[in-house]
Amino acid sequence: MELSFVKERIEHAVLCKQLANIVGTCYVEYWGRAASKLPKGKRLLMIKGDGSFAIHQNRLLRPTNYMMGSTIGCELSDDTLIITASKLHPKETMKVIFYNVDDLQSYEMDEASDLRLFGSERELSDQLMQDLSFLEAGLKPLNQEEVLRKGLVDILAEDKEGRLVVIELKRRQADFNAVQQLKRYMDQVQNMKGKKTRGLLIAPEIRKNARELLEKYGLEFFAIDFEVSNPSTKIKGLQKKQKTLFEL
């Protein structure tokens, strides 16, 4: 395609906040949080109405190069079309040099609509909050998403012995990070409240090493079995995997 024509079409699409796809042979440079060069090759550049700018190759979900909320410019130079994307905070620039453009399409799109997602951690937390006795008899909810000075506790409760119970919920296999997150919260709550405190990690499963760490810390793991059925999420079972510190 004639590059001067492509330039006009792109400028129009950007102005009208259309979604535009440009396919052609290009070379890409990026400089900002890091720096990168992508050798000349056939790629697809997708530009969205909000300044999303992405170079795609024919594999992987994620674009090879990208920029969010960019300002876009076009210029012709030496039989090439140079498309630049740039932004501040952090300062980043990307230069895409097209040697030829095979195709250019642009589309007037709807307003984006929201995805209704089921089975998120937040939804699980809500379900669990409905009935903590699922977890342990006599457990009473104190607060959901209790804000700590550092971070957010998923659920704070009190057990039948009057001990504080800090609960961290994960929708997938728990790892080191989850364990340490819980430990951090438990320590903090214990410090703030000056009461005996337990820490519960709830997840579908836990990695072996993470579990060792958890046990070393005296935390408790509960395996949760849930189903992301329609239209919401159902907790099917909850099984205790550790004795509490106080039972040992």
Partner DNA sequence: GCTGGGAGAGGCTTA
Partner DNA sequence: TAAGCCTTTCCCAGC
Footprint of DNA on this chain (CB under 7 A)? Answer: 30, 32-34, 36, 52, 60-62, 65-68, 89, 92, 94, 115, 117, 119-122, 147, 149-152, 154, 168, 170-173, 175-176, 181, 185, 207-210
Give, in order, the Cα–Cα distances in Å from 215 to each of 179, 211, 248.
10, 6, 12
Question: Is-contact 98 117, C-beta < 8 A?
Answer: no
Q: How many Å apart are CA 216 and CA 218, to the nearest integer?
A: 5
> Residue 26, class by beta-carbon neighbours within 10 Å (0-12 exposed, 13-18 middle, 19+ buried)?
buried
| 228 binds a second copy per the rule CB under 8 A | yes
Q: Which is nearer to a second copy, 161 or 227 (CB)?
A: 227
Q: β-strand 80-87 against 92-107: which pairing, if any?
A: antiparallel
Q: What is the nearest approach in angstroms of DNA to the Cβ of residue 95?
A: 11
> In sequence order, what DSSP letters do the residues of 34-102 get, joined into one string?
SEEEEEEEEEEEEE-TTS-EEEE-SS-SS-SEEESS-EEEEEEETTEEEEEEEETTTTEEEEEEEEEEE
Q: What is the nearest approach in angstroms of DNA to the Cβ of residue 219?
A: 15
Q: What is the nearest approach in angstroms of a second copy to the Cβ of residue 138?
A: 32
| 66 binds a second copy per the rule CB under 8 A | yes
Of 33, 1, 9, the residue nearest 83 (C-alpha): 9
Strand partners, 100: 25
Instruction: Pick one of a second copy, DNA, none as the site partner of residue 220 (Cβ within 5 to 8 A by kind).
Output: none
For residue 22, give both structure tokens: 């440009």
DSSP 137: T
- Which of 48, 170, 198, 211 forms a contact with a second copy (CB under 8 A)? 48
Query: Which residues, 77 to 116, sit near a second copy by CB under 8 A?
Result: 102-103, 105, 107, 109-110, 112-116
Query: Which residues, 159 to 178, sit near a second copy by CB under 8 A?
Result: 171-172, 176-177
Instruction: Pick one of a second copy, DNA, none as the site partner of residue 118 (Cβ within 5 to 8 A by kind).
Output: a second copy
Q: Which residues bind a second copy (CB under 8 A)?
A: 17-19, 21, 23, 31, 33-39, 41-44, 46, 48-50, 52, 54, 56-61, 63-66, 68, 102-103, 105, 107, 109-110, 112-120, 149-151, 171-172, 176-177, 180-181, 184, 209, 213, 228-230
